[in-house]
Amino acid sequence: MDCLFCKIINGEVPSYKVYEDDIVYAFLDINPFGTGHTLIIPKKHYLNIEDIDNDTYFHIVEITKKLALEYKDKLHMDGYSICQNNGCAQEIKHFHMHLIPKYENEKKLSIEEVYHILKENR
């Protein structure tokens, strides 16, 4: 399979992992829409929301919420957007959820700086 996200999960492509369990893998987006933009993906390949089973989908939602609460504490975000695209709206054809932190005064931190902040005290 030539899926970028599957390659990230398998360690063939490096990533800034912020969370992992048996079902999901979460990492910082290398082309972020904002400081701390994170992708939460299932380890099993699902094409889109029509393809994913409910248990996996709801687990991803649970982890997205967990990360949002952590980011409020560590990144001091003032809000956030959660987005999931399907079909022609998907750049990568592997189900993924976007967690995009929002700030009243936009923070301009590098991915490395965000990664370091999130990894502290873990």
Q: Show the CA angle centred on residue 99, arms to residues 95 and 104, nearest 5°.
A: 155
Which of 89, 88, 111, 119 is closest to 32 using CA atoms? Answer: 111
Q: Are strands 79-83 and 97-102 parallel, antiparallel or unpaired?
A: antiparallel
Per the residue annotation, which of 37, 59, 76, 96 is the catalytic one? 96
Distance CA 104, CA 37 (A): 16
Cα 108–chain centre separation: 18
Q: Determine how many CB atoms are found less than 10 A away from the CB of residue 6.
A: 17
Q: Are strands 97-102 and 17-20 parallel, antiparallel or unpaired?
A: unpaired
Active site residue 96: yes
Tell me which residues are annotated as active site: 96
